[in-house]
């Protein structure tokens, strides 16, 4: 649908994601790769942007699982306002209804190359697989190297400062959800951690988020998960001090 020759501009993108870290990292990467990116924190805000003609995207990247208006219903309303392609993005496979309604799917974490491939109707390369054994790094060396190559050290540092701050806030919310035995909230927090930390390459925290999302109903392990997540947070703080001293 889109020609990425030197004579053509890349399509304007609308990124809809309720997770602030995912939005920041992905919007930064795509902007550095010469995309013009508009962002919205939820479906309602995205529809307002389109209705106000503040954004006329050639493609929309939409988180598949958000509070409020989301999923196939949001895709239907976006299509009524925008002729561009709509791609679902998520850290896990979206529901079948979303997969059927969207023009394609990108699994977090992904970069500009995967988006290029999807826009060109090519098969996206598989993302990095988690380590099965041995030492698990705190942050993906590949993603960290990509960020260092594309951005200034201060800009990369700001991403991880925001990540640490956001993760600490989600840890507090997780502990409250565990105390209140709120299984749905535990899973939502896990999904958000998986997506945001995955985009920033925080492997350890993203893995724990995925486990929380999958096993949020097992409240007996709640305290252990919270403890493991706190360790992951401390590891990220140490990485930040080592890699990006203030």
Identify the weakest region by mean pLDDT among 1-10, 111-120, 173-182, 211-220: 1-10
Query: Mean per-residue pLDDT for 122-135?
Result: 36
CA dist 18 and 67 (Å) reads 8
pLDDT tens per residue across span 30-65: 888 888 999 999 999 999 999 998 888 989 999 988
Are 31 and 37 in contact by the 8 Å Cβ rule? The answer is: yes
CA dist 70 and 77 (Å) reads 10
CA dist 111 and 26 (Å) reads 8
Cα Rg for the chain, rounded, in angstroms?
Answer: 18
Q: Number of helices (H) and strands (E), helices first, in the chain?
A: 10, 5
How large is the angle between the packed helices 43-51 and 71-79, nearest 10 degrees?
0
pLDDT tens per residue across span 69-81: 888 899 989 988 9
Question: Rounded to the nearest 10 degrees, how much is the dihedral formed by the CA atoms of 13, 198, 75, 24?
Answer: -40
Banded model confidence at residue 218, pLDDT cuts 50, 70, 90? low
The sheet carrying 85-90 orders its strands as: 37-40, 13-16, 59-63, 85-90, 104-107
What is the SS3 assignment for 78? helix
The topology under which CATH files domain 141-243 is 1.20.120
DSSP summary character for residue 127? P
Query: Mean per-residue pLDDT for 134-150?
Result: 79
Residue 8 clears pLDDT 70, i.e. is over it: no
In CATH, 13-119 is 3.50.50.60: no
Are 65 and 94 in contact by the 8 Å Cβ rule? The answer is: yes
Structure-token pair, residue 114: 């995967």
Query: Per-domain residue ranges for the chain?
Result: 13-119, 141-243
Q: What are phi and psi of 166, to 5 degrees?
A: -65, -40
**pTM for the complete prediction?**
0.66
């Amino acid at each position: 649908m889109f020609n990425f020759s030197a004579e053509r501009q890349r399509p304007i993108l609308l990124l809809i994601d309720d997770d602030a870290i995912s939005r920041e990292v992905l919007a930064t990467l795509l902007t550095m790769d010469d995309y013009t990116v508009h962002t919205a924190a939820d479906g309602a805000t995205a529809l307002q942007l389109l209705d106000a003609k503040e954004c006329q995207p050639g493609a929309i990247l939409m988180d598949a699982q958000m509070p409020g208006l989301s999923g196939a219903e949001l895709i239907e309303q976006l299509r009524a306002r925008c002729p561009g392609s709509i791609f679902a993005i998520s850290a896990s496979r979206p529901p079948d209804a979303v997969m059927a309604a969207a023009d394609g799917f990108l699994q977090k974490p992904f970069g500009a190359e995967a988006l290029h491939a999807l826009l060109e109707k090519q098969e996206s390369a598989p993302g990095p697989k988690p380590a099965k054994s041995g030492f698990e790094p705190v942050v993906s060396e590949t993603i960290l190297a990509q960020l260092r190559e594309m951005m200034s050290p201060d800009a990369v540092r700001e991403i991880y400062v925001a990540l640490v701050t956001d993760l600490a806030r989600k840890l507090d919310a997780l502990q409250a959800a565990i105390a209140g035995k709120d299984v749905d909230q535990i899973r939502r927090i896990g999904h958000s951690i998986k997506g945001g930390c995955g985009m920033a390459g925080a492997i350890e925290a993203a893995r724990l988020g995925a486990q929380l999302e999958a096993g949020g109903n097992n409240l007996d392990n709640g305290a252990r998960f919270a403890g493991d997540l706190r360790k992951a947070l401390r590891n990220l703080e140490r990485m930040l001090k080592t890699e990006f001293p203030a």
